[in-house]
């Protein structure tokens, strides 16, 4: 039996032995199971409902002998958004680290999980300064990873080998930032990295949502794109024997968030309004209400990649620089 990740049913974690028994004796029973998992035993494979764990079968399916035998669609009892988030983080907090930027998304997860935290930010960057101050205020155990330009250049060569769209500057810069968080977690002996992915798409965190002509439709489109983003992030995490765990993509949180009208998620010019209301019960108000830069910008990684591009003769095209690296790494 091979289990990557973890499995729960109705809020109770299952042991690997219990999961193996279900898959081998009654695979249909996995239909009610939540968690983040890829489970294989003999000729059967099961993958979690949202496909958080990469795998050879579609998200939310159980395949045996090459055919689908069950669909995984956990249906936990309804609960409030606060209850959903507290439960989701609690189920994931027995091991691992939290990727912490000092914003509301990761701040709430860090406060609830009380795990070691890691921030990626070159020396003097916005995220390094802000996260350090937030961690002191919250009493968190924080390590700041500050890669050099040479280390970022080396990381890029690793990243472009594994991400789906290696020549896209935004994709590559996000993946490179995640690379250093995963590297630190792996060096510390951890496999799980709790992260805030999904919060922007569920609660309306992007600046463009403030002027969206159809906010509900835009939120739905962006939520549907999370699978692609997850493929990128998990591929990078796997380079270091780790994986991203995403409390905001727990079925309870997704259900509670999507039950809130779009106009209430972005309210009075405040993005992620419902999440901030929950967060301020657990973290300082100035952190719950703070606006944050995207991690590739706040960390300084994007600026460093731009500098590397210019140094390598690509004064106006980061994409050209990434294409050169990708060709060299893929041998074409």
- Other beta carbons within 10 angstroms of residue 5's beta carbon come to 19
Q: How would residue 309 be classed by pLDDT, with cut points 50, 70 and 90? A: very high
187 to each of 34, 72, 180, 196, 250, how far by Cα in Å? 29, 34, 11, 21, 27
Could you identify the residue written with the tokens 């973890």?
6
The pLDDT tens digits for 110-144 are 999 999 999 999 998 988 999 999 999 999 999 99
What gap in Å lies between CA 279 and CA 202, rounded to an integer? Answer: 15
pLDDT of 166: 92
pLDDT (0 to 100) of residue 152: 96
What residues are paired with 212 via a beta bridge? Answer: none
Question: Given pLDDT bands bounded at 50, 70 and 90, which one contains residue 332?
Answer: low
Q: Distance (Å, rounded) from C-alpha 39 to C-alpha 48? A: 9
pTM for the structure as a whole: 0.94
- pLDDT digit string, tens, across residues 179-198: 999 999 999 999 999 999 99
Pull the structure tokens for residue 163.
Answer: 């991400």
| Residue 78 φ then ψ, to 5° | -60, 145
Q: In what order do the strands lie in the sheet with 142-145?
A: 142-145, 117-120, 97-99, 192-194, 243-245
Quote the pLDDT of residue 290.
Answer: 87
Question: Could you give all domains of the chain from N- to C-terminal order, each with its CATH number?
Answer: 2-71 (no CATH), 81-298 (3.40.50.620)
Q: Provide the pLDDT for residue 315.
A: 84
Residues present in the chain in total: 332
**Rounded Cα gap, residues 213 and 259, in angstroms:** 20
1 pLDDT more than 80: no
User: pLDDT tens, 46-65?
Assistant: 999 999 999 999 999 999 99
Retrieve residue 277's tokens. 């209301």
pLDDT of residue 331: 66
* Distance of alpha carbon 186 from the chain centroid: 16
Residue 279's contacts (CB-CB under 8 Å, 6 or more residues apart) are 104, 107, 108, 287, 288
pLDDT at position 305 = 94
Reduce the secondary structure of the chain to three states and give it as a string: CEEEEEEEECCEECCHHHHHHHHHHCHHHHHHEEEEEEEEECCEEEECCCCCCCCCCCCCEEEECCEEEEECCCCCCCCCHHHHHHHHHHHHCCCCEEECCCCHHHHHHHHHHCCCEEEECCCCCHHHHHHHHHHHHHCCCEEEECCCHHHHHHHHHHHHHHCCCCCCHHHHHHHHHHHHHHHHHHHCCCCEEECCCCHHHHHCCCHHHHHCCCHHHHHHHHHHCHHHHHHHHHHHHHCCCCEEECHHHCHHHHHHHHCCCHHHHCECCECCHHHHHHHCCCCCHHHHCCCCCCHHHHCCHHHHHHHHHHHCCCCCCHHHHHHHHHHHHHCC
Share of the chain above pLDDT 90, in %: 89
Residues 203-235 pLDDT 10s? 999 999 999 999 999 999 999 999 999 999 999
With 90 as the cut, is the pLDDT of residue 79 above it? yes
First to last CA, the chain: 38
User: 25-51, pLDDT tens digit by residue?
Assistant: 899 999 999 999 999 998 999 999 999
> Which is it for strands 192-194 and 243-245: parallel, antiparallel or unpaired?
parallel
Indicate the pairing of strand 44-47 with strand 243-245: unpaired
């Amino acid at each position: 039996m091979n289990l990557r990740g973890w499995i729960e049913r109705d809020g109770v974690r299952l042991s690997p032995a219990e999961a193996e028994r279900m898959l081998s004796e009654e695979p249909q029973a996995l239909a009610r199971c939540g968690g983040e998992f890829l489970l294989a035993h003999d000729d059967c494979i099961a993958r979690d409902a949202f496909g958080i764990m990469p795998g050879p079968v579609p998200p939310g399916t159980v395949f045996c002998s090459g055919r689908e035998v069950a669909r995984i669609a956990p249906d936990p009892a309804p609960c409030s958004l606060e209850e959903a988030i507290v439960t989701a983080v609690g189920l994931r907090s027995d091991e691992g680290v939290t990727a912490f930027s000092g914003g509301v998304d990761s701040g709430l997860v860090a406060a609830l999980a009380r795990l070691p935290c890691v921030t990626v930010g070159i020396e003097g960057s916005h995220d390094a300064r802000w996260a350090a101050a937030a961690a002191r205020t919250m009493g968190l155990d924080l390590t700041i990873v500050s890669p050099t330009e040479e280390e970022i250049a080396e990381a890029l060569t690793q990243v472009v080998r594994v991400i789906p769209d290696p020549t896209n500057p935004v994709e590559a810069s996000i993946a490179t930032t995640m690379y250093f968080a995963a590297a630190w977690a792996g060096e510390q002996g951890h496999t799980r990295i709790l992260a805030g992915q999904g919060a922007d798409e569920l609660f309306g965190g992007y600046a463009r949502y403030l002027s969206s002509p159809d906010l509900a439709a835009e939120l739905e489109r962006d939520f549907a794109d999370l699978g692609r983003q997850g493929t990128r992030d998990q591929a990078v995490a796997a380079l270091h024997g780790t994986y991203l765990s995403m409390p905001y993509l727990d079925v309870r949180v997704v259900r509670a968030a999507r039950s809130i009208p779009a106009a209430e998620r972005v309210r009075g010019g405040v993005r992620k309004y419902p999440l901030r209301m929950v967060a301020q019960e657990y973290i300082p108000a100035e952190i719950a209400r703070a606006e944050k830069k995207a991690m590739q910008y706040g960390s300084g990684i994007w600026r460093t990649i731009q500098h590397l591009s210019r140094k390598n003769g690509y004064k106006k095209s980061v994409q050209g620089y990434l294409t050169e690296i990708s060709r060299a790494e893929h041998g074409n």
